[in-house]
Amino acid sequence: EAGVAQSPRYKIIEKRQSVAFWCNPISGHATLYWYQQILGQGPKLLIQFQNNGVVDDSQLPKDRFSAERLKGVDSTLKIQPAKLEDSAVYLCASSSLSGRAREQFFGPGTRLTVL
């Protein structure tokens, strides 16, 4: 079974520029999560989707961050405009609604550097 795919793996931009990250979850997983992991810290949930609906976006900085999951499969996370403090690894995870429903499978992440 293929794991969670993310691209790009690395991105370097200047502040005030925009950037987008892409995630393809494990096939059949209804729930998709985006986390922000700042160096030396644990992942922090930004947004959670179930199918193509938002379940929790309480910690998403909505003035600059946006995310969508069209057709309930792939998802994109966008930052516009980026700030220096957005430098982090952005992790995508997915989980199934059945079986071990609460086990989250993580992708390799996208490392963002904002200069």
Beta bridge partners of 106: 93
Q: What is the DSSP letter of 9?
A: S
Q: Say whether residue 93 binds other proteins (CB under 8 A).
A: yes
Among 31, 36, 49, 88, binds other proteins (CB under 8 A): 31
Could you tell me how many residues of this chain bind other proteins (CB under 8 A)?
A: 24
Please measure the distance between the N-terminal and C-terminal CA atoms of the chain and give it in whole angstroms: 37
Which residue carries 């969670």 as its tokens?
A: 4
Q: Which is nearer to other proteins, 16 or 44 (CB)?
A: 44
Kindly indicate which of the ranges 19-27, 35-43, 61-69, 75-83 contains the residues binding other proteins, using the contact rule CB under 8 A. Answer: 35-43
List of residues contacting other proteins (CB under 8 A):
4, 31, 33, 40-45, 48, 55-56, 91, 93, 95, 101-109
